[in-house]
Amino acid sequence: MKNCPTCNKTFTDPDLSFCIDDGTPLVLVAEPADETTVVSPSSVSRPSPPPTEVYKPRDWQAPDYQPPGFQLASGEPSKRKRWPWVVGILAVLVISLIGLGIAAAMLIPNVKRATSNRNSSNPNVKRSSDSNSSAPVSNSNIESTPENTNTLADEGTATAPPTDKDVVLAALTDLEHEWTVANINADKQKLNRILADDYVGMSSDGKNQGKAEYLRTIERDTAIRKWEFEDLKVTLMGDRATLDGVIRLQLPDQEAAFRFTDKFVWRDGRWQAVGSEISRIK
């Protein structure tokens, strides 16, 4: 913008240098600032002064990151004592083992006793009958009586002896039939099982003989046709039993009767003969 000092006219043509009215050279006049763009000195922010000390990136290194450490509370021991727990566990184990031992000691005898009574009272055991005694005895038709029910028990198993006298009488009667058949047939294997190792009995000539001599001198007897037991009575005292009775033998031309007393002991889960006495009835 230009102004004429003579007439005070203002000209906006930038190419105009002289006043068109009086020819006075025009004077350049500064244009007033736009109010919208004028900023008051009070509103202009002043730059902050530079810091007194300049840090360069290479002059400072941050420390390596470390996770926060666990700090124990005051008065807490650094290590917990473990021996009370170990002692407690061992005590529980010892008490458990003692309890199992007591339970086993109480149950095992009852189980063995029940097994023994069940074997002795087996309904398949044949009582004394005339079927065995009335059958003729020969080389071909001698039939062994049923095995003693007590032989069903294992040899090495210690079972309690039966306490019922009727059961014991039936078992010993069957054993007497088995013993008679083994004598007639000279069955040493069967006799070895029936007789105990400490057996001592009376021979036919009235002398005592042990098990070894009994088995050595036994001979087969084919003269006996049949036999029958009478007046059988049993005396029971714990693991010992005594059987008294009469046996009648039917021979080809006569009949012979003998009174006997056989003694038995309960061993290895079965009855075994430990003694025998016999005398002829005239």
pLDDT computed for residue 116 by the predictor: 59
Q: Which pLDDT value is given to residue 3?
A: 81
- Is the overall model pTM greater than 0.75, yes or no? no
Tell me what pLDDT residue 138 has.
41
CB 180, CB 227: distance < 8 Å = yes
In the structure, what pLDDT confidence band is assigned to residue 117 with cuts at 50, 70 and 90?
Answer: low
Q: Which two tokens stand for residue 208?
A: 């005592």
Q: What is the pLDDT of residues 166-179, one digit of tens each?
A: 999 999 999 999 99
Q: What is the identity of the amino acid at 187?
A: D
* Residue (of 281, 277, 272) closest to 249 by Cα position: 281
Kindly report the average pLDDT of the chain as a whole number.
Answer: 75
| pLDDT for 6 | 85
Cα separation, 168 vs 78, whole angstroms? 75
Q: What is the pLDDT of residue 118?
A: 57
Please name the residue that has the structure tokens 């038709």: 141
Q: Cβ contacts of residue 109 below 8 Å, gap of 6+?
A: 160
Lowest mean per-residue pLDDT among 47-51, 123-127, 175-179, 264-268? 123-127
In 121-249, alpha helices (H): 130-134, 165-185, 188-194, 211-217
pLDDT score for 265: 96
C-alpha dihedral, 249 to 123 to 185 to 217, nearest 10°: -90
With a cut of 60, say whether residue 210 has pLDDT above it. yes
Model pLDDT, residue 65: 56
Whether residue 164 is predicted with pLDDT greater than 50 in this model: the reply is yes
60-114 pLDDT, tens digit each:
555 565 555 545 444 444 455 777 888 889 999 999 999 888 988 888 877 777 6
The answer for residues whose C-beta is within 8 angstroms of residue 241's C-beta and 6 or more apart is 168, 172, 234, 235, 263, 264, 265, 266, 271
Which candidate, 171, 212, 218, 219, places its Cα nearest to that of 195?
A: 212
Structure tokens at 14: 């930038």
Task: Give the pair of three-digit tokens for residue 187.
Answer: 């069955």
Alpha-carbon distance of 238 to 110, in angstroms, equals 16
Task: Report the pLDDT averaged over residues 36-49.
Answer: 50
CB burial readout 33-59, b (16+ within 10 A) else e: eeeeeeeeeeeeeeeeeeeeeeeeeee
| CA nearest neighbour of 213 among 223, 203, 228 | 203
In the chain, what are the helix, strand and coil shares in percent, each to the nearest 5?
30, 25, 45
Enumerate domains of the chain plus CATH numbers: 1-35 (no CATH), 127-281 (3.10.450.50)
